[in-house]
Each structure stands twice: as C-alpha cells, then as structure tokens.
Amino acid sequence: MPETAATVVVPPISLRRRITDQVMTGLAVLTVILVLAPLVAIFGYLVFKGVGSLNWSFLTQTPKPVGEVGGGMANAIAGSLMILGIASIIGVPFGIGAGIYLAEFGRNQLGSIIRFTADVLNGVPSIVIGIVGYAIVVLYQHHFSALAGGVALAIMMVPTICRTTEEMLLLVPQALREAAYGLGVPRWRTTLSIVLRTATSGVITGIMLAFARIAGETAPLLFTTLGNQFWNLRYDQPTAALPLQIYVYANSPYEDWHRQAWAGSFILILLIVTSIAAVRYVVRRGSFGAA
Amino acid sequence: MANPAFPRPDMPGPQPVAAAKVGSEAAERTPLLRTSGGEAGDRVFQSAITACGLAVLGVLVLIVYELVARSSLSWHAFGFKFFATSDWDPVNEQFGALPFIYGTLVSSLVALVIAVPLSVGVAVFTTEMCPKQLRGPISFLVELLAAIPSIIYGLWAFFVLVPLLSNSVEPFLAKTLGWTGLFSGPSYGIGMLAAGSILAIMIIPIISSITREVMMVVPQHQREAALALGATRWEMIRVGVLRNARAGIVGGIILGLGRALGETMAVTMVIGNRPEIAKSLFAPGHTMASVLATEFSEATGDTYLSALVEIGLALFLVTIIVNALARLMVWTVTRGQPARGNA
C-alpha cells in the first residue's frame, strides 16, 4: 500500500552495493557457462569423433595386430557385457537382500552399523576394490579372469542398490503391510509379494543407477580381467572389456587406435545414457501406481 | 478379517477365532496363503535376508583384512618411514610413498581450488537466481557430468584438454604468474595442472548438488528477513543463505575431496606418472591411485606388490575418514540441528 509506505523513509541502496549485486549475478551466470562448457565439449567430441569412427567392422571384428589399420572391439563389447552380467548376477540379489534387511528388520543397532558400512563402501576408491578382487579371486584361480572383474564390480554395486532399495521400501505405506498381515499372510510373503512388488520401479531405478555407475569403471578391471586381444566367452579366462580397451588404445601411439578409442567411448556412453534414460522412463511411469 | 487358518498370537488386536465358517475351508483360503510356508518360511526368509545384510559388513571386513594382510611385508620392512621417504626404486626394493601422497594431495587441492567457486556459483544460480523453468534443466545437465565415466574424462583430457593447456593456458600462466614458482618450467600440458583440472570437472557435480541441497534447506524466512532489511539479492544470498548453509557446503566440498583423492583413470592418463616432487604445477607427478593403476599388474616381487597394497590401504583409510567427516557435516545441516550459533 503506497499510502502508508510513503511515511517510511527507505534510504537508497548505494551504488557500490548495487554494482556488487550485479557483478555477483554476472559471476554466477559465468560459473554456469564455465561448468556446462566441458559437458558440451565432451559430448560434442564423443559424437563428432565417435560416430565418425564407428563402422561395421568396429562392431564385428576383434583387434588387429599392433600397428595394423582396421579391426574392431567386438570382443571387448561382448566381454564388457559378460563382466557386467556376472557383476549383476552377484550384486543385485545381495544388494536387494541387504536393502530389505535394512528396511524391514534394520531398526536396530546392527541395522545402523550395516547402513553406515554401506555408505563407507560407497566411498571406497574403485582402484582399491580392484586390489581386493585381485586378492580374493585372481590369487586363488592363479590367473586373471572375467569372474574376478565381475566380483569387483559386484562389490561396487551392492551399496548403491542396498541403500536405494531401503529408501524405496520405506516409502511403501505401513498400512499395506498391516493389510497383508491382517489377511494372515506370513511376513516373508508380505515382504516379497506386497512390499517389494509395490516398490518394484524404485528398486529397478536403483539397479540401473548402480549399473550405469559400474558400466564405465576401468580401475577395478585393470588387474582382475586384465584385457584380451581375442575372443573369450569363458568366465575363468582373461577377458577384454570396453573401458580397458579404450585405456590401452588411448595410450598407444597409433592414430587408428585413437580413432577406435573414441568410437569405443561413444558406445560406452551410449550404454550408460540408455540405462539412465531407462531409469527416467521407469520413474515417469509412476512410482507406486501398480499397487 | 480374522483368519482361523492362521493364528498370529504375537500380533496386537483381536485374535482369530475358529468359528462360524461360511463356506468350505479350502474356498476361503487365498492362493497367496496356500503357497506360503508359514512360520518356518518366515524364519528361513529372515535368516536369508539377515545374511545379505551381514554380507555387506563382511565385504568391508574382507577389504580391510586383505589390505592389511597383504601389505604386512612392506609394513614390517619399512614401517612409518614408508610414508616419509621418497625413493621409489623397485629394482633395489626401496619403497617410499611420499611422492604419491604429495601428488594425490596437490592434484586434489588444485581440483578444489578450481571446483569450489564454480560449484557454489552454479548452486547459487540454480537455487536463488535463475528462472524456474531453467532450474530443472541446468541441474540435470550438471548432474549429467557425474554420469560420464572416468575413462572418458581421461580420453577427453588427453586429446583435448592437454593440448589446450600446453598451447595457451600454461604459457599464459607462466607469463603472468610465473614469479610464484608454481607455474614455471616447460609446458607439456601433461602434469599436475592437467590432473587437477580434469578432477575439478569431475567433482563439480558432487559439490554443487550437495550445496544446492543444503541451500534449499535454509528456511525461506531467512531470505525474507534479509530482503525486508533492505538487502540486495546478493547480500541476501551471502547473509541469509550461504552463511546458514556453511557447514553443509563444507561437507559437500569434503565429499568432493574424497572423490578426488581416489579418482584413478582420468588422472593416470594426464598426470605424467613420474614419482617426483616438484613445486611447479606444470611438472609431471604420480598419485596413490595412479601408481596402483600403472604398476600393480606388472609388479614383480613380493615386497613390491606389498608396498603397492600398502599404498592402497593408506588410500582406503584416508577416503573413509574424509567421507565420514563429510557425511557428518552435511547431516548436521539437513537433519535439523542448526550447526551455528554465531551467524
């Protein structure tokens, strides 16, 4: 109300303060531009260099001997899928199980300890996980293998899946559990068929996020799966993996291998973006609608 | 409806009574109930689930055990001197981790110096300044940075960032700030500065998302009070928001530090991998993670391998401490409990 406001004398904001305000606003806009520039640059290069280097032989052939032009990363793509498959087979059940424990039975001291442990595991550097994979699988098998890499990646998956599963299960209304108990349904059946079923899309989101996180991991594979120039689909043999192959090719002095490293990166980011897009699709379909 | 087929004496409320059946017993049972094993099933389920929970604990114990057991050889040979000497000579079996510790610290510090102002700026812009329609897309894009794998950062840094640094940024820094001694020597591009820059890009999403989170927790009336006292928008942000969110922002920064300390592939590809301690940021270096990445699979000799595992153990302990500290600080802000008294 301007009539009453007129009686209050508001001192004008000094020029210095107004300029500071403008400068700070400008700086904030600048930081956004500076932060988004690398993102645009990275995706730009990936698409520009990656798509340009992508061809049929890249997707269907194994690497050519050192220095020869041509060849592809078919074995690395297959190897990556195998390692990720092993990791998911081991990591997903344990992660979901631990999440169920935390949500349904974990309101006690042991639960808090496990919750804290999962958070700690989440922060362990991936290279250290690689050492553990080496120590617990490679040293017993006496050679590098896809299994060792899968175990290392599974260790990385568990904390993420565990904590998201817990969060999602806690979102399921208590009344739903009570309704099931009221019908005489045993607890295990309630948890699996009612609570977990209700939270399915959220749990899947957690799994896909964990998957996207480990799909590009290189460090834990360095001394567990080691890499391989040839086809290998056996779980107990050294196996090629897409990130490892990118690392080796980027460090090589050959122009053609650099080209392939870009193409490999493009495939890798495609894999990751697809899983993230799947997450967003699942989330948008309605979190707890189907209950 | 009470179900006489399944008494549950441990539950509160009226107990099921076996009386007044309407139809046959079989017709009343649901398929769900018929296929459930009852009490025994519950016990099996609870033990299986508890086992999964304990497995998480077991994995951590296993990690600690393996790291401690496999580094004992080096620990007995060098003791604390391991972290204070700087010869790294696998041929003569002399190992000192100082250059790697130095490299890890310096590259992470460079990353923080670059990343902190940028991340806080982005968080301030998205929460306080930008139009509502832009808020979602910008934070989504910034968080997209977190989804790019380390190896792709490394590849990009190696082929794009390093040439950029060596051709334009480093000569410029040498000319303007060369007198500090931090920016001197030949500008190869590969080195501490490149590692710090790529780390900065990688930790920006972490710091900025946490900062945004704690800034959104700051009560709206703090902002309104500052504005009512005649503050400009920036003054409102500085006094009303940033000061209140301080502890949480520091927590986010430490969380970013934790990530930077353990980051491996991108750093390995651009830091130069030489175990040297040089004052200039243009010089190549080595970090604890990068020495593991480059030397572990070809380490010959038990002492060599053990020394590398000891570096891994040190890295593990440092990141755990840093992460725990960060979570504590973020927690004090987001779970009520104002962590201030003098603001």
- Cα B261 to Cα B101: distance, rounded to the nearest angstrom: 10
Per the domain annotation, does A53 fall within a domain? no
Q: In this predicted structure, what is the pLDDT of residue B57?
A: 94
CA A61-A66-A67 angle, to 5 degrees, is 100
Residue B279 pLDDT greater than 90, yes or no: no
Domains and CATH numbers, chain B: 82-334 (1.10.3720.10)
pLDDT band for position B1 (cuts 50, 70, 90): very low
Which domain CATH number covers A174?
Answer: 1.10.3720.10
Residue of higher predicted confidence among B17 and B52: B52
Pairing relationship of beta strands B94-95 and B88-89 according to DSSP bridges: antiparallel
Chain centroid offset of residue B228 CA: 39
A chain contacts of residue B289, beta-carbon cutoff 8 Å: 125, 127, 219
Contact check, Cβ <8 Å, A219/B324: no
Residue A175 pLDDT greater than 50, yes or no: yes
Q: Which residue, among A105, A231, A9, A204, has the nearest Cα to B47 in the 3D structure?
A: A105
Mean per-residue pLDDT for A11-33? Answer: 91
Per the domain annotation, does A218 fall within a domain? yes
Say how many C-beta atoms besides its own lie within 10 A of residue B147's C-beta: 17
- Cα B272 to Cα B268: distance, rounded to the nearest angstrom: 7
Q: Which residue, among B26, B82, B117, has the nearest Cα to A27 in the 3D structure?
A: B117
CA B94-B97-B101 angle, to 5 degrees, is 165
Contact check, Cβ <8 Å, A183/B125: no
A chain contacts of residue B159, beta-carbon cutoff 8 Å: 45, 250, 258
Nearest residue of B to residue A126, measured between CA atoms = B262
The per-residue pLDDT of chain A, averaged, comes to 88
Per the domain annotation, does A39 fall within a domain? no
Q: Of chain A residues 58-87, which have a CB less than 8 A from chain B? A: none
- Residue A101 touches chain B, beta carbons under 8 Å: yes
Say how many C-beta atoms besides its own lie within 10 A of residue A71's C-beta: 17
Per the domain annotation, does A137 fall within a domain? yes
Q: In this predicted structure, what is the pLDDT of residue B18?
A: 55
Torsion of CA B183, B186, B189, B192, to 10 degrees: -50
Q: In this predicted structure, what is the pLDDT of residue A290?
A: 39
Q: Please count the helices (runs of H) and the strands (runs of E) in chain B.
A: 15, 2
C-alpha dist (Å) from residue B200 to B151, B270, B280: 15, 13, 18
- Cα B116 to Cα B210: distance, rounded to the nearest angstrom: 12
Residue B271 pLDDT greater than 60, yes or no: yes
List of residues 6+ apart from A291 with CB closer than 8 A: A172, A176, A197, A198
The per-residue pLDDT of chain B, averaged, comes to 85
- Cα A115 to Cα A93: distance, rounded to the nearest angstrom: 17
Contact B315, A125 (CB under 8 A): yes
Which stretches within chain A are classed as H helix? Answer: 2-5, 15-45, 52-53, 56-60, 74-100, 109-123, 126-133, 139-141, 146-171, 174-182, 187-189, 197-198, 200-215, 242-251, 255-284
- Cα B182 to Cα B167: distance, rounded to the nearest angstrom: 18
Type and span of the H or E element at B153 = helix B150-156
Contact A42, B148 (CB under 8 A): yes
B290-321 burial code (b ≥16 CB/10 A, e <16): bbbbebbbebeeebbbbbbbbbbbbbbebbbe
Type and span of the H or E element at B172 = helix B170-177
Nearest residue of B to residue A9, measured between CA atoms = B230
Contact A229, A72 (CB under 8 A): no
C-alpha dist (Å) from residue A273 to A55, A266, A276, B45: 20, 10, 5, 36
Residue B339 pLDDT greater than 50, yes or no: no
Range of the domain at A107: 76-241
Q: Which residue in the set A46, A125, A183 is minimally distant from B262, CB to CB? A: A125
Mean per-residue pLDDT for A261-267? Answer: 93
Contact check, Cβ <8 Å, B49/A104: yes
Of the residues A20, A32, A157, A205, the best mutation for testing chain B's interface (the one with the most B CB atoms within 10 Å of its CB) is A32
A chain contacts of residue B291, beta-carbon cutoff 8 Å: none
Q: Which residue in the set A18, A128, A134 is minimally distant from B316, CB to CB? A: A128
- What is the residue-wise DSSP string for A101-155? IIIII-SSHHHHHHHHHHHHHHHS-HHHHHHHHIIIIIHHHSS--HHHHHHHHHH
Mean per-residue pLDDT for B272-277? Answer: 89
A160-199 burial code (b ≥16 CB/10 A, e <16): bbbbbbbbbbeebeeebbeebbebbbbbbbbbeebbbebb
Tell me the per-residue pLDDT of B224-245, one tens digit each, with 9 for 90 and over: 999 999 899 999 999 989 998 8
Chain centroid offset of residue B280 CA: 27
List of residues 6+ apart from B266 with CB closer than 8 A: B150, B151, B153, B154, B157, B195, B198, B199, B202
Tell me the per-residue pLDDT of A59-116, one tens digit each, with 9 for 90 and over: 888 888 877 778 888 999 999 999 999 999 999 999 999 999 999 998 889 998 999 8
B chain contacts of residue A262, beta-carbon cutoff 8 Å: 155
- B104: tokens are 């890890």
Q: In this predicted structure, what is the pLDDT of residue B118?
A: 96
List of residues 6+ apart from B13 with CB closer than 8 A: none
Per the domain annotation, does A144 fall within a domain? yes
Residue A226 main-chain phi, psi, to 5 deg: 70, -35
- Cα A270 to Cα A48: distance, rounded to the nearest angstrom: 14
Tell me the per-residue pLDDT of A193-249, one tens digit each, with 9 for 90 and over: 899 999 988 898 889 889 988 998 999 999 898 888 888 888 888 999 999 999 999
Per the domain annotation, does A133 fall within a domain? yes
Contact check, Cβ <8 Å, B145/A38: yes
Contact A128, B312 (CB under 8 A): yes
Tell me the per-residue pLDDT of B39-89, one tens digit each, with 9 for 90 and over: 788 889 999 999 999 999 999 999 999 999 999 999 998 988 899 888 888
Contact B114, B195 (CB under 8 A): no
- ipTM score: 0.89
Tell me the per-residue pLDDT of B251-266, one tens digit each, with 9 for 90 and over: 999 999 999 999 999 9
- Cα B238 to Cα B328: distance, rounded to the nearest angstrom: 23
Q: In this predicted structure, what is the pLDDT of residue A8?
A: 66
Per the domain annotation, does A58 fall within a domain? no
Mean per-residue pLDDT for A280-286? Answer: 71
- Cα B126 to Cα B209: distance, rounded to the nearest angstrom: 10
Mean per-residue pLDDT for A34-61? Answer: 90
When divided into structural domains, chain A yields a total of 1
A chain contacts of residue B6, beta-carbon cutoff 8 Å: 184, 186
Q: Which residue, among A159, A135, A115, A225, has the nearest Cα to B64 in the 3D structure?
A: A135
% pLDDT > 90, chain B: 53
Type and span of the H or E element at B225 = helix B220-228
Q: Nearest C-alpha of chain A: how many angstroms from B155?
A: 7
Contact check, Cβ <8 Å, B62/A29: no
Per the domain annotation, does A161 fall within a domain? yes
Q: In this predicted structure, what is the pLDDT of residue A84?
A: 94
- Residue A209 touches chain B, beta carbons under 8 Å: no
pLDDT band for position A291 (cuts 50, 70, 90): very low
Q: Which residue, among A91, A40, A73, has the nearest Cα to A229 in the 3D structure?
A: A73
Nearest residue of A to residue B267, measured between CA atoms = A219
Chain centroid offset of residue A34 CA: 25
Q: In this predicted structure, what is the pLDDT of residue A274?
A: 87
B chain contacts of residue A136, beta-carbon cutoff 8 Å: 62, 66
Q: In this predicted structure, what is the pLDDT of residue B31?
A: 55
- What is the residue-wise DSSP string for B8-56? -TTSSSPPP------S-HHHHS-HHHHT--THHHHHHHHHHHHHHHHHH
